[in-house]
Amino acid sequence: MRQGSARLLSFSTAGLAWGVGDWRKDWATLENARHGFLIAYPVEVFQQKTDPTTDEGRVLYSPDGKAQLLVGAFANEDQMTLRAYRDYLLQASYAGAELDYAPVRRTWFVLSGTIGDREFYERVSFTCGGRLINSWAMIYPISPKVENRFYDRVVEAIARTYTPGAGRSGNCE
């Protein structure tokens, strides 16, 4: 993602009437021109605190700093398989986690669960025959219960906007 690539996105909230403030009103989208993926997020919930140093990823924070949204795409230079990368994430980022949702498909997987006092949801997609890895993750506090349900709804809404990329042209070139 290049600096300044975030732009406001008109996001349809049809079917998302949860009655939770207006966090659904204004959304920004992050688009990675080099790797081609796209994801949108509510600007009331997440903000970029510092300018990115690379176009491969961003970390956004809730205003109180308790929740993070991580997005990225990068070349699979080590030629890891989907399963090997999943195992790596489980050891490196989620060791000791209790998974409650973890589907694995041919080109993507999700890791979702709890670790300590945090809940997480991570979606990883392998595109271009496994040459590109696109991912996003949201990490947020488990308690209090109202806050947890709020972030669960945010995860669901962000997930609907995610489109993994296939390179600059969209043809894995």
The enclosing H or E element of 133 equals strand 132-141
Q: Tell me, yes or no, whether 1 lies in a domain.
A: no
Whole-prediction pTM value?
0.81
* Backbone φ, ψ for residue 95 (5° rounding): -60, 130
DSSP 90: H
Tokens of 27: 């959304």
Tokens of 101: 């949702």
Sequence-ordered strand ranges (E) for 49-131: 57-61, 68-75, 98-101, 108-115, 118-127
Give me the number of domains the chain comprises: 1
Residues 6+ apart with CB under 8 A from 33: 1, 2, 5, 55, 168
Q: Tell me, yes or no, whether 170 lies in a domain.
A: no
Q: Tell me, yes or no, whether 173 lies in a domain.
A: no
Q: What is the pLDDT tens value at each position of the chain, 173 positions in all? A: 333 333 333 333 333 333 345 555 789 888 877 777 889 999 999 998 877 666 677 899 999 999 999 998 888 999 999 999 999 999 999 999 999 999 999 999 999 999 999 999 999 999 999 999 999 999 999 866 666 588 888 999 999 999 888 876 677 87
Q: What is the CATH number of the domain that holds 149?
A: 3.40.1000
Strand partners, 98: 114
Q: Tell me, yes or no, whether 80 lies in a domain.
A: yes
Query: Residue 47 is part of which domain span?
Result: 7-159
